[in-house]
Chains A and B, each alone.
Chain A
Amino acid sequence: MTIETLYPEICNLFGEPTNVKYLQMSVPGAEVVNTALNDEPAFVSRKTDLVYMGSMTENAQELVIGRLRPYMDRLRGLVSDGTAFLMTGNAFEIFGSYIECDDGRRIEGLGLYDIYSVRRMMKRYSSLFLGRAGECEVAGFRNQFTFSYGDNTKNGLFAVTKGIGLNPDSRTEGVRLNNFMATQVLGPLLVLNPSFTQMLLRLLGSDAEPAFLSRAQEAYQRRVADFSDPGCRF
C-alpha cells in the first residue's frame, strides 16, 4: 500500500500527522511518501492508494492552493477512477470554490466542489462533534476560523448527530466524491475512530485491523458515550 502525505512540513497542525502514522502502524510495510511543498506530488506520476493532507495555517492554505492547482486535472481523473483521498481540518476548505477573508478578499479554491468558506479570524469556532457515516459513528472536534456554505446534502461525508455541519444551520459535514473524503473534523480522525479507520482500510483493499484496536475502541467508546450525553457540550 502506498500512502502519499501532501506537504507534511506545513500541513501538520492539531496532531494530524498521526493519522498517517497510525495507518502505517496498522499496515506494516505500507509505504509513506512525503511530498514537500516544492516537489511534484507523487500522485501525478505513480500509483498511490491514498493521498492524505491535514490542517495548516491560513497562509499555508494559499501556498498549497498554488502548488496543487497545476495538478487538478490529474487529481480529478484520480477521483473519477476511485483513488482514495482523505483531507482533514482546513484542507477541506481549499478544495472548495473559494475562501472569503475578513477584508472581503477571495482566495480562489481548487474548485473540486461547489462549497465556499467564510473566514473570520476573530471568531474562531470550537466544539465537539458526533456524526455518522453509514453504520459508522464518528466522534471528534472542530476548531476553525471558517463556516462553509453550499449544498452537501447529497455528497456529505457525515450526518451530524451533535455539533454542526458546514455551518451552524447545516446537519451534514464534509464532502465525499467517490473515494475522495474531506472533513473538518479533527481528532486525529483515524486514531480517535477505529471503526472509520477500519472502513478506510477495507476501502484500500487491506484486511488489516487498526493498530491497538481494542485499546483504541475503549477510548472511542468512552468518547462516544460522553459526547452522547445531552449534558455534554461545548
Chain B
Amino acid sequence: MKRIRFYFALWASKLARAAIRLMGRNASFWPGKIALRLCPDFIGQCGRPETVVSVTGTNGKTTCCNMLIDFFTRGGETVLNNRLGSNTNAGIASALSQGNTWGGKARQKLAVLEVDERSSRLVYPYIRPDYILITDLFRDSILRNANAEFIAGILDSSIPENTKLVLNGDDLISSRVALRNRRVYYGIGRLPTDTDTCRNIINDVRVCPVCQSPLASDYVHYCHIGRVRCPKCGFASPEPDYFADSLDFENSAIHIAEKDGGETYHLAADSIFNAYDVLGVIALLREMGHSRAEVKAAMEEIRIVGTRYLTEQAGDVSVVDHLAKGLNPVACSLVFDWLSRRPGKKELILLLSSDPYELPENVTWLYDTDFEFLNSPDITRIVVGGKRLEDYRLRLLIAGVPEDKIVCCASEAETVEHLELAAGETVYFLHDFLRMPYNLHLGEQIRGRIRERVAGREEAGK
C-alpha cells in the first residue's frame, strides 16, 4: 500500500522535472533529490519494473549500461534507465519518478540502472535488483572511495539476498562480494601481454583471503586482475562460467566458452578493459535467458561509444590527445602502461593536476600511480604543467626519469612550446577527465600549435 507521502513526493518530483526541463536543463538529479527529501523510501515505494538489472563497480559501469540498453531497445523495448543522469540514489529516484505514472505504476517492464558503488546502500535495499553486474573494484580517487575493501564492504551489506550476481572472476575483490548470493563468474584467459607477476604499484590482492599466505599468480592482466592461487591452502580464483579463451583485437572477435558450448562474438573493444565490459554484458544477457545466437546478432551491431582519445597527423608528427582520470591511480597507470608499449619515440605533455578547479590536490595518488612506466628510452621529453607541477616533477624523478627529460611549464597553453617535435615521433597530450570541457579547448589549441610548428619546420627544411 503506497502512502500519501509517496504520491506527494512523486508529483513534486514530476513537477520539478517539468520546471527544470523548461529552463533547458537536464533534470536527472534534483527531481530525485526532492522526492527523497519528501519520502526517504521513495525508491522502494515507486512502481517497480518487472525486471531490474543494475551495473556497479569502479570501472566500465556506463559502457556496460549503454550496451545493455542498446541490446534491449534494438528489439523495440523501452527501458527505464539513468543513462543521461546521475548514478547516485538521487539519480535513480529521478529515473524512477520519470518512469512511473502519476498513479505510481511503472511504465516499463525492464530497468537498467547504473549505480555508483558508494550509493549502493541507498539504492539496492529498496529497488532489490534481479541481477547485478559488478565490473570490478579498485582504488579510486582518495576523496571518493578510500580503499577497495571499504567499497566491497558497502556492497556486501547492501545487496539483497535474492539478487543474482554476475561477477568478474578475475577480480578477487569484487568476486567475493555477498558470498551468500547466487552468482556466476566471467573471466579472460592468458593474453600475450600478460605477466607472471604484477608490474603495478597497486595490487590489492597479495595475500590469500583464507590463510594470509602470499598468493601465486597464474597470470596477471594488470594490477590485481588475473588468476591467482594459494600454494599453502589451495584457495584459488573462481572458475569462470563464461570464459573468454580467445581475444582477437585485430579481427574484433571474442570467443566465450560456457559449460555447454561456446560462441564467437563481435568484440567492440580495443583494450582488455573494454573487453571485460563486453564479456560481462554477454554473461549477464545469457543469465537473463537470451540465446547465444540472439546475443551474437546484437553484438554485431552494438558499439562502444566515447573513445577517450583522438589521434591526428601534423605533418611528420603524430598527435594523440588522451583523456586520463586524474586523481585515479589505476586509470592513469593503465594509460601510462599503454603509452609505454606504443612503438616509436614519444614526447608527452602531462596536465593531470586538478588543483585549479578543485580543492588543493591530495597528491598521495601520485605515489600509487605507475609513473615508472614513463621511464623509457623511447620517451624523450615530458612537459609538465598545472599548479602542482613541482610535485609531478618530483614524482617523475623518483620514478627514475632523468631530470634533463623533464620540463616544467606553469602556463598550460605554453607547454607545447617546449616540445622538440622531431620527425616521426608521437606527441601524447594527457589531460584530466575532470577538467572537461576546458581541456577540450586546450587540446585544440595545443594540436593547432603543433601543426603550426611542424609546418614551420618542414617549410624551413625545404
Residue of A with least CB distance to B397: A212
Cα-based distance from A102 to B155 in the complex (angstroms): 17
Q: Which of A92-100, A107-115, A183-191 contacts B (4 or more CB under 8 A)?
A: A183-191
Q: Does B360 contact A (CB under 8 A)?
A: yes
B149 at the interface (CB under 8 A from A): yes
Q: Number of contacting residues on A, CB 8 A?
A: 43
Smallest CB gap from B392: residue in A: A219
Contact of B212 among A25, A38, A58, A191 (CB under 8 A): A38
B207 CB to closest chain A CB (Å) equals 6
Do most interface residues of chain B lie in helix, strand or loop, or is the interface mixed? helix
Residues facing B in A130-152 (CB within 8 A) are: 141, 143, 145
Chain B residues, CB < 8 A from A18: 367, 398
Which B residues from 361 to 387 make CB contacts under 8 A with A? Answer: 362-369
Q: Are B143 and A219 in contact (CB under 8 A)?
A: no
Q: Are B360 and A15 in contact (CB under 8 A)?
A: no
Q: Could you say which residues of chain A place their CB within 8 Å of the CB of B201?
A: 15, 17
Q: A22-B398, A191-B394 are in contact. Are A36 and B214 (CB under 8 A)?
A: yes
- How many pairs, one residue from A and one from B, have CB atoms within 8 Å of each other in the complex? 95
The answer to whether A13 and B394 touch across the interface, beta carbons within 8 angstroms, is no
Q: In angstroms, how far is the closest chain B Cβ from the Cβ of A149?
A: 21
Cβ-defined contact, A15 with B398, below 8 A: no
Q: What is the 8 Å Cβ interface bit string for chain A, positions 1-35, against chain B (1 contact, 0 not)?
A: 00000000110011111100110010000000000
Interface centre among B139, B363, B369 (most CB of A within 10 A): B363
Enumerate 26 A-B pairs (CB-CB under 8 Å) in ascending A order. A10-B207, A14-B368, A15-B329, A15-B364, A15-B369, A18-B367, A37-B212, A57-B147, A58-B149, A121-B150, A126-B143, A143-B143, A143-B146, A186-B364, A187-B364, A188-B364, A211-B398, A212-B397, A212-B398, A215-B390, A215-B394, A218-B390, A219-B390, A219-B391, A222-B388, A222-B390
Q: Apart from A121-B153, A141-B364, what 20 extra A-B contacts exist at CB < 8 Å?
A: A9-B214, A14-B367, A15-B201, A38-B212, A57-B149, A58-B149, A58-B150, A59-B149, A60-B149, A141-B363, A188-B367, A191-B394, A211-B397, A211-B398, A215-B397, A218-B390, A219-B394, A223-B391, A232-B360, A234-B360
Identify the B interface with A (CB < 8 A). 139, 142-143, 146-147, 149-150, 153, 201, 206-207, 212-214, 329, 359-360, 362-369, 388, 390-391, 393-394, 397-398, 403
